[in-house]
Chains A and B, each alone.
Chain A
Amino acid sequence: MADEDFDCGESGASTTFPMQCSALRKNGYVMLKNRPCKIVEMSTSKTGKHGHAKVHLVGTDIFTQRKYEDICPSTHNMDVPHVSRKDYQLSNIDDGFLSLMDDNGELREDLKIPEGDVGKDIEKRFDNGENLIITVLKALDEEQVVSIKNVS
């Protein structure tokens, strides 16, 4: 969360894309208050019987899990973040950092063990010698480990 203006200025064009509000869907993603959110609730309302629809969105920040809301005319465009997930094989844990290898055999060591249950689980299962696949969620140049699973 270094500098939001910087994010938008340089990489905003490729990290999000516009979508008409009415085409958003529950379980989909949207930018609310400049944060990438998963839409958990979507409802419409109008002012007066002959008014035009407004969309009320509630979303949870996919990284911080905080809740955000927004309301806007349904014809407006909202920014939708490019959200992607990538699986890595966990090869080592070193000084709180994960060594992860992707399908092409490329290694990265820049991700910390996440806080909370998932982080503890990683350490425990890694110590048990389990072979782990780590899913990393990415949006707007932010990344986070969101799930782990044994290699099947």
Chain B
Amino acid sequence: MVSTEQRQHAEHVFLSFRKSKSPFAICKHILETSKVDYVLFQAATAIMEAVVREWILLEKTSIESLRTFLLTYVLQRPNLQKYVREQILLAVAVIVKRGSLDKSINCKSVFHEVGQLISSGNPTVQTLACSILTALLSEFSSSSKTSSIGLSMEFHGSCKRLFQEEGLRQIFMLTMEVLQEFSRRENLNAQMSSVFQRYLALANQVLNSPLLKKKKKKNQICFYDSKIREDSDMAQDSLQCLAQLASMHGPIFPDESAQVSYLAHLVEGLLSMINGIEIEDSEAVGISNIISNLITMFPRSILTALPSDLFTSFINCLTLLTCSFGRSAALEEVLDKDDMVYMEAYDKLLESWLTLVQDEEHFPRGCFVQPAIQVFNSYIQCHLAAPDGTRNLSVNGIASHDEEEINELQEDDRELFSDQLSSIGMLGRVAADHCIPLLTSLLEDRVTRLHGQLQRTQQHLMASSDPGSVDRKVLDDLYEDIHWLILVSGYLLADDPPGETPLIPSEVMEFSIKHSTEVDINTTLQILGSPGEKASSIPGCNRTDSVIRLLSAVLRTSEVESRATRASLTELLSPQMGKDIVWFLRRWAKTYLLVDEKLYQQISIPLSTAFGADTEGAQWIVGYLLEKVINNLSVWSSEADLANDTVELLVTLVEKRERANIVVQCESWWSLAKQFASRSPPLHLLSSSVQRSLMKALVLGGFAHMDSDTKQQYWAEVLHPLQQRFLNLINQENFAQISQEEAVKQEIVATLEALCGIAEATQIDNVVSLFSFLMDFLSSCIGLMEVYSNTPETINLIIEVFVEVAHKQICYLGENKSMKLYEACLTLLQVYSKNNQSRKRGDATAEEDQYQDLLLIMELLTNLLSKEFIDFSENDEVFRNQEQGTPASSRAVSAADVVLYGVNIVLPLMSQDLLKFPSLCNQYYKLITFICEIFPEKIPQLPEELFKSLMFSLELGMTSMSSEISQLCLEALSPLAEQCAKNQEKDTPLFIATRHFLKLVFDMLVLQKHNTEMTVAAGEALYTLVCLHQAEYSELVESLLSSQRDAVIYQRLADAFNKLTASSTPPTMDRKQKVAFLKSLEEFVANVGGLLCVK
């Protein structure tokens, strides 16, 4: 047994061996004599590292002979362990790569050698040739695969460019040669087949390489036959090759017809392949990738130029394949497989359909309708329970029904499957004639059954009082059916683009218009307006507008749900279905409610009659939606997600002025507002985020059009009670004494939550009134900070109010208002600081509480600083001038003052332990870098202690944090050094600090292994620091040089330093010089890094 120490010792021996100087002779000796594979491996590694390190010291001829030695060595020893051989070849590749930079090695001759190896016909030699090519390819191609040989990314990049001009093509040609030869042969023995496979893998790698620009084109690779399919690895590789070939486009082809014939060739091969085989699980993803690449990459004009028979066969094949993968994906879900290959393949194909039908106008009219119907039907079938569908049926037709635990982190289906649903929705629009009526009839049927089932269950419950005896299986099946039907309907009828007003999809609009002459509008409205009745029981129900009828079907679902809650059957309902309903209604309302005729070229009469502005229909449905919201908020308070979706529907109804105008005419809106304002049950049971959004909605509603009396009355009902109750409470003489009573604390918390909600309602046109309303509270909040100084949870919430107000409002505020907010924030921070000075806490959550406070404070400061970047206020000119020009002393406070004061509070509290919270750490360093960049002139004026801790933070961040943070800190250094240079005062603390940073950055760049991504940030910092401290920089260089005992290295090093500053002597803070310096720095780091590593 080898002990840990022995192992560590051995590792140490090898590591130091690899660093030894000029180990070439000894390595050769080891390679020739040793029989231990691991030792051989280490010798190869040592050679590789030493060659690169000592490159500039070595004679070119000795490098060449070393390379030849390694190649011959491998050739003569066919029985080497694979990992030893690969390592030696890697050494060869690295040598070639390093040599290509100074042109001391010619790639052409290397390829010539390899070509000879290949034409030898000896499988062993061919395998070796393949390994050489593979090593070269991975060494040259992607940056992630290259060996770390201490050279800059710039070097790797230029190698890559050189290589792709010539090397890549060479490799591809050589590979194709072998592949063609092998595919011509009838029988392959095991050894040859393994060589074949290696080259196939190589071909795949070449085709995958993003370097491949000009390449020998197509080359009939459609030899995907039984020979290859037997071997799954080979099959994977060749499918990937095909996928790469399918994505070929652009300047490879001389003209369009060449591209068309290439595509035709490819599609024919593909079809005959797919039709000739029964697809294996492992092939599904590969095949779908080929198809997806084909459809995404080839221009539409090329696709449509295909012979029409071929195109039709292709589309038919795609249709069948999609349906079949969809069914297999459903099976995978039932079996709960870890590896969902069919699901992945299905996703790919659906995505391809989306691409195709989005460009429908390029293709023959209607050519996608039948395929769309088939794919749509199969999707619906897979998602419905038996007998209509096959959901949860395993292969032998047995239904499985398991109840798994679902946690809150799991996404809702509407997000999890949003890509699939978008495609299916789009296909549904293409075949609207079929799909919309289908969805309607399925949904109406399920709703009727749900209604019946609930009634039966209710009777059952009345007969036997044991709720456990209810069989939920039938109900759950119905809920799941309805769930998917509503999701598909939602995606079919409307889009939900973030931040835009969605339009009614043109296909849906056309569909409604096309049938409008057959439609009886009155019956349609009757069906819409009577969600409590069965649609089919209404006379003339088959002459209704189908789009409205589908909405009506969802409203019927909603009605069944609401009635069940009123019958106290809430326990039996599905919160998921509740979510689906309000999600659908929100999506629908955004697009269809008060449809704006100006936005459309043509408009459907049924749609505009039912939902247009100033229609009874629109008024009716707003009223209905409000009732729904109110009902949900009272019966579903315990379902946070459902309550959230519900309140989001409410926000949607009022965030657009036109909709809000109708909402505020509804009595139920007023009673909701009053109910919430009076904090009467059951709204107070809602979670705090729902309460905030509810407050937001109520405030937004207040900006709807109302006559002035009504408006006054509204605010008197909604906001004034809040203010009144709050003021009554805090103005009581004994407030401090009663402040800890439960009722008082609850009132305070509710008020603070409401304030956050009010801030969230801020829009550019209401900011004036909301700001002054909130400002009154902010000053009272500071009083609360004193009273609740010993109650951390309340303090936290108070800070959050400030964060929200700053976040939502600062960008709109003009000079005076900004000033007020700055002052308020400053006072808040002062009080916070006073409360925590000399406080010592002993409770368990002390650290967590402090962490939360600090995070919020930094968020507040960052929000205030954001004014520097985003400013929508009108008189921001005035504001800016004042920032830069006149000293802020005469005029109250500036953003800088508040932020620096805040930093003063935060800094002493930022213990190293707290910095271990990643989010806090990031926020903190972002903030201090911001400050150095925006207010460098303020830094020298900081109090001594604060200044010191700021500098310490920078040093800590630079040296011992993640590279991201280190980069942030480096970025902060340049503005500081520039500030010093501007002041021209020596011996100020900042001047001394920057001198210290010069040494740190110098060491970092010259002596330490650092992340090459950081070279730029560090280089910029170094340059400005060098400008500032030229003498110190010379000293650093001198002392480094004097420590070198080797004369050659000394000279090289001295030359490198001279070259580094050659273009910038004497260094000045001039952009051009700085750029020149940065350029020579990269070369410097590449050369010197290696030199100083040599012992």
Contact = CB atoms under 8 A, between A and B. Distances in A.
A92 interface: no
Contact of B406 (A21, A49, A62, A75): A49
B638 A146 contact: no
B184 interface: no
B406 A46 contact: yes
B397 interface: no
Given A23-B686, A86-B740, A147 B843 contact: yes
Contacts of A61: 844
Interface string A79-94: 0001011110000000
30 contacts: A20-B638, A22-B637, A22-B687, A25-B688, A27-B852, A38-B844, A38-B845, A40-B845, A45-B408, A46-B405, A47-B403, A47-B406, A48-B406, A50-B475, A50-B480, A50-B577, A52-B638, A53-B641, A60-B844, A62-B844, A65-B844, A85-B740, A103-B736, A116-B842, A117-B840, A117-B842, A146-B842, A147-B846, A148-B839, A152-B837
B793 interface: yes
Contacts of B479: 49-50
Interface of B: 403-408, 475-476, 479-480, 483, 571, 574-577, 637-641, 684-688, 736-737, 740-742, 790-793, 796, 834-835, 837-846, 848-849, 852
A81 B843 CA distance: 17
A152 B737 CA distance: 19
Q: Which of B406, B848, B849 has the most CB of A within 10 A?
A: B406
B275 to A, nearest CB: 39
Contacts of B835: 149
A51 interface: yes
Given A50-B479, A103-B737, A152-B834, A20 B637 contact: yes
Given A25-B687, A117-B840, A117-B842, A135 B575 contact: no
B790 A147 contact: yes
A60 B848 CA distance: 12
B737 A22 contact: no
Nearest to A76: B638
B845 A23 contact: no
Interface residues of A, number: 48
Interface string A103-127: 1000000000010111001000000
B637 A23 contact: yes
A146 B841 contact: yes
Contacts of B842: 114, 116-118, 145-147
Given A27-B792, A50-B483, A149-B838, 8 more contacts: A22-B686, A25-B687, A52-B639, A65-B844, A85-B791, A145-B842, A146-B843, A149-B840
Interface in A23-59: 23, 25, 27-28, 38, 40, 43-53
A46 B408 CA distance: 8
Contacts of A87: 790
A17 interface: yes
Given A22-B637, A53-B575, A48 B404 contact: yes
Nearest to A48: B403
Contacts of B403: 47-48, 51
Contacts of A85: 740, 790-791
Contacts of B684: 23
A87 to B, nearest CB: 6
A118 B844 CA distance: 12
B841 A147 contact: yes
B839 A149 contact: yes
A84 B740 contact: yes
A147 B403 CA distance: 48
A46 B641 CA distance: 12
Nearest to A47: B403
A66 to B, nearest CB: 9
Nearest to B792: A27
A58 to B, nearest CB: 12
A49 B483 contact: yes
Given A17-B742, A22-B640, A44-B408, A50 B840 contact: no
B575 A52 contact: yes
Given A49-B480, A50-B480, A85-B740, A137 B843 contact: yes
A136 to B, nearest CB: 9
Contacts of B575: 46, 50-53
A116 B577 CA distance: 53
Nearest to A49: B576
Contact of B843 (A23, A62, A149): A62
Contacts of B640: 22, 44, 53, 74
Contacts of A20: 637-638, 685
Given A45-B408, A149-B838, A74 B740 contact: no
Q: Which of A40, A84, A121, A149 has the most CB of B within 10 A?
A: A149
A48 B838 CA distance: 52
Contacts of B577: 50
B638 A118 contact: no
Q: Which of B638, B641, B736 has the most CB of A within 10 A?
A: B638
A117 B843 CA distance: 11
B579 to A, nearest CB: 11
Given A22-B685, A38-B845, A137-B843, A48 B476 contact: yes
Given A43-B408, A45-B408, A50-B577, A22 B840 contact: no
Contacts of A75: 638
Contacts of B792: 27
Shortest Cβ-Cβ A-B pairs, 7 listed: A118-B842, A65-B844, A50-B574, A84-B740, A48-B403, A74-B638, A150-B838
Nearest to A56: B407
Given A53-B575, A147-B842, A23 B740 contact: no
Contact of A53 (B571, B639, B791): B639
A148 B407 CA distance: 41
Contacts of B638: 20-22, 52-53, 73-75
Contacts of B849: 27
Contacts of B846: 147
A146 B840 CA distance: 8
Nearest to A75: B638
Contacts of A150: 837-838
A121 B842 CA distance: 10
A8 B848 CA distance: 31
A43 B840 contact: no
Nearest to A152: B834
A28 B793 CA distance: 7
Contacts of A152: 834, 837
B661 to A, nearest CB: 33
A65 B479 CA distance: 44
A27 B687 contact: no
A152 B835 CA distance: 9
A50 B570 CA distance: 12
Contacts of B639: 22, 52-53, 74
Contacts of B796: 27
A23 B742 contact: no
A45 B476 contact: no
A116 B846 CA distance: 14
B855 to A, nearest CB: 13
Q: Which of B577, B835, B841 has the most CB of A within 10 A?
A: B841
Contact of A45 (B405, B571, B576): B405
A114 B840 CA distance: 13
A25 B843 CA distance: 19
B576 A23 contact: no
Nearest to B407: A45
Contacts of A28: 793
A22 B682 CA distance: 12
A64 B115 CA distance: 77
Contacts of B686: 22-23
Nearest to A50: B574
A61 B843 CA distance: 10
Q: Which of A17, A60, A117, A135 has the most CB of B within 10 A?
A: A135
A126 to B, nearest CB: 13
A32 to B, nearest CB: 14
B63 to A, nearest CB: 62
